[in-house]
Each structure stands twice: as C-alpha cells, then as structure tokens.
Structure 1
Amino acid sequence: MSYDATRDRVEHYFDRTATKVWERLTSDAPVSRIRETVRKGRDQMRDKLLSALPSDLNGVRVLDAGCGAGQMTQELAQRGADVVAVDISPSLVKIARDRLPEHLRSRVTFASGDMLSADHGSFDHVIAMDSLIYYTESDIRASLSRLGERTRGSIAFTVAPRTPLLMTMWYAGKAFPRSDRSPVMIPHGSARLSKTVSDIGQLNDLGRVNCGFYISQALEFRP
C-alpha cells in the first residue's frame, strides 16, 4: 500500500471511527484494563522521547508530527518551544486545541493535514510519536528524508518493534479484512532501518517501552 493510501486510511480511522476512543484514552476518564496499559505505555513513551530533547526549549521550533489529542504538544509548549502541531485528523486537532491551556496558546500553531508537508516550514527538532507505525520501511525512509531536509537537529520517532508477538499479530491481521478496524501496524527491526537510512543520516536507539498491550520502539534520526 502506498504512503498516500495508508495516510488516507489512518485519517479515516482516527477522524471518523476512533475519535471518541482516543479522546477518552488521552484523558483522565476510566478505561478498561487493556486500554489502561496503553495509556500508561504512551505516557512512558512520551517521556522517553521528550528526554531526547533539551529541557529548555525557549526559542526552539518543534514539529509535533501526528499530535493527536495534544499531550506532547502541551509538554513541548510548557518547556518553551514554539510548536507546530499537525495531525491528519481534524477532529483530534480540535480536541488538542480545546485542551491546550490559555497561557500556552501563543506558542502553538495547529494544522490538520499531512505531517510531511513543506508548508509547515523548517524546524530545530521533530517528534513523531506513533505516527509512522503504519508505514513500510521505504515510506519511513522517504518520510525521514523529507523531514530531514527541513530539520536542523533531531527527529525522534517510534516504530512497532519486530518482536515475535507483534509479528504473529501482523501476520494474523493480514489474513482478515480490516474495513472496520484500525490500520495495521508494521513491525520493523531497528538494525535494518538503520542500514536503510545510513546514506541520508544516522539512526540511534532511544529504548523500548513494553507495557501490557503497548509495545513501541523509540528511535532518533539525525540527518
């Protein structure tokens, strides 16, 4: 499936099918045990990605690529960053905008659309948490290349790691139609990704989060 086709599928899922689910998951509302592990895992991953950036981000321009309901956006703005928060889902962007505290709003520019668009300008850093997990190896390489052309520092992002469990789930998912379910995460090995992007930049391992039903690998790309 092409990048455009995958992007459109992700948009449909998050903007129409799963908006309420993600609004609740990213709030303090009670959720099931399974979703509680996802919530905790995402909190841990957000902290891990943020730890790769300077604690003081005053005067630093950061792209929150795939901002979702805006938790990362708020953290970045609280550190002083000038944030461009982009998500493919206009519904999630509205939630993120509505949740942002008034005193931080001057630091954040929200946009809905393709996170790779050159219209968003250039950046000191990019964070793409769980925004590339549905894409193929070649699409990830192309995405890092496009973002790298406009990024002076690092691009911190996540992938679904190539674990036996996730590979089993991936192969099982391919065997069934998914018209009414979420897009399929594509597991990747960090060593292979590192080799794939070696001619355009350096890939560093930032660590893995394994929390119940949330399993994700953090990586840092430097053009």
Structure 2
Amino acid sequence: MTYEATRDRVETYFDKSATKVWERLTSDAPVSGIRATVRAGRDKMRDIMLAELPADLTGLRVLDAGCGTGAKAVALAERGAQVVAIDIAPELIKIAEARCPDRLRKQITFHAGDMLDSAHGTFDHAVAMDSMIYYSDAMLVSLLKANESRIRGKFVFTLAPRTPLLMAMFRVGKLFPRSDRSPVMIPHKTAKLASDLRIAGVQGKLAEVERVTSGFYISQCLRFGGRP
C-alpha cells in the first residue's frame, strides 16, 4: 500500500468512524477501563515527548503533525511556540479549534490535511504522536528523508515497538475484517529503521527516548535529528 492510500485510509477512519470516540478519549469524560489505560498511556507519552523540547520555545516555529484534538499544540503554545497544528481529519481539527484557549489562538494555526506537506514550510522542531504508526519502514524512511531539511532541530515521534505482545495482537487483528475499525498499526524495530535510514543516506540520527506500556497502549518515543 502506498503512503497516499494509507493516509487516505487513516483520514476516513478518524474523520468518519472515530471522531466521537477520540473526542471522548481526549477529554475528562468517563471511559471504560480499557480506554482509561489508553488515555493514561497517551497522557504519559505526551509528557515524555514535550520534555524532549526546550522549556522555552518563544519565537520558535513548531509542527504538531497529527495534532488530533489539540492538547500538544496548546502545551507547545503555552511555552511560547508558534505552532502549526495539522491533522488529516477535518472533524478533529474542528474539535481542536473549539478547545483552543482564546489567549493562545494567535499562536496556533490549525490545518486539515497532510501533516508533512512541504507547503507548510520549515520548522525549528516537530512532534508527531501516534500519527506515523500506520506506515511501513520504507514509507517512514521516505518521509524522514524528505523532511530532514525542513526540521532544523528535533523531530520527536512515536511508533509501535515490535514486541512479542504487540506482534501477537497484530496477528490476531489481521484475522478480522477492518471495514469499521482502526487502520492497521505496523510494529517496528528501531535498529532496523535506523539501519534503513543510513542505507538511504539520511544524515539525521535516530534514537530511542522512552517506551510507554499502559494496558492496550504500547508506544515507543523516538527522537530524530537534533542533538542527543
């Protein structure tokens, strides 16, 4: 499957099937036990990712790639950043705009579309939480290579780690029809992706930051480019 086909599938899921689920999951509303573990895991991962960037982002332009309902964008703006928050799902962008505090509206620009479209220009840093987990190694190499020169500092993002538990869940999931379910998440090995990046001539370095395991939420934070 191509990058464009995968991207379009993700858009259809989040804009048509899962908007209400994500709106509730990313709020303070009560959720089921399983979703509560996912919420807790995502909250922890967001804190880990934000800790990778400077505490003072005043005057810096930061990309929130796959911003969802906008929690990271708000946190970045509160540090002084000028944030470009992009999500493939227009309905999620509407939620993010509605939740944005009035005092930060001049610092956040929301867009519905391709999170890595070069038309959005260059950035000092970028974050992408759980928005690149649907792409293959080859697609990730292509994306990182194409955007290496656009992101001057750190690109902090998450992938699904290739663990025995996650691979078991992945294989079982492939047995069921997915017409109304989330797009297939692709587990990765950091060492393999790093090797593929070197072979492709990508100069930036890939490093693991921290892994979060919270019930059904299993995610690895990675740092690309910038200084370790």
Aligned partners of 1:34 and 1:186: how far apart in 2? 21
| Counterparts of 2:53 and 2:141, CA distance in 1 | 22
C-alpha distance in structure 2 between counterparts of 1:102 and 1:146, whole Å: 34
Shift of 1:170: 1.3
The letter for the 1-side match of 2:181 is R
Distance 1:108 1:6 in 2: 27
Task: State the match for 1:206 in structure 2.
Answer: 209
2:123 match: secondary structure = coil
Q: Which residue of 1 aligns with 2:223?
A: 220
Aligned to 1:96: 96
Structure 2 equivalent of residue 139 of structure 1 = 139
For 1:95-117, what per-residue CA distance to the aligned partner results, in whole angstroms no more than 9, with x for missing partners?
00110000000001110000111
Opposite residue 131 of structure 1, the aligned amino acid is S
* Counterpart residue number, 1:21: 21
Q: Mean Cα displacement is larger for which, 85-94 or 187-196?
A: 187-196
Distance 2:120 2:56 in 1: 23
Aligned residue-pair number: 223
Query: Which residue in 1 is equivalent to 2:11?
Result: 11
Shift of 1:13: 0.4
Secondary structure (helix, strand or coil) at the match of 2:213 reads strand
Aligned-pair distance for 1:183?
Answer: 0.5
Supply the distance in 2 between the matched residues of 1:91 and 1:143 (Cα, whole angstroms). 25
TM-score (norm 1): 0.98
- Counterpart residue identity of residue 80, structure 2: G
Q: 2: CA distance between counterparts of 1:70 and 1:111? A: 11
Corresponding residue for 1:64? 64
The alpha-carbon deviation at position 66 of structure 1 amounts to 0.1
Quote the Cα distance in structure 1 between the aligned partners of 2:105 and 2:146: 28
Partners of 1:116 and 1:146 within 8 A in 2: no
- Consecutive unaligned residues of structure 1, counting only runs of 5 or more, are none
The alignment's C-alpha RMSD in Å is 0.9
Would you identify which runs of 4 or more consecutive aligned residues in structure 1 move more than 4 Å?
A: none
- The residue number in structure 2 matching 1:121 is 121
Q: How far apart are 1:176 and its partner, in Å?
A: 2.6
Q: Is the 8 A contact 1:26 1:39 kept in 2?
A: yes
Task: Quote the Cα distance in structure 1 between the aligned partners of 2:57 and 2:177.
Answer: 44
Residues 176-214 of structure 1 show CA distances to partners (whole Å, capped at 9, x for unaligned) of: 321111101100011111111123121011110011111
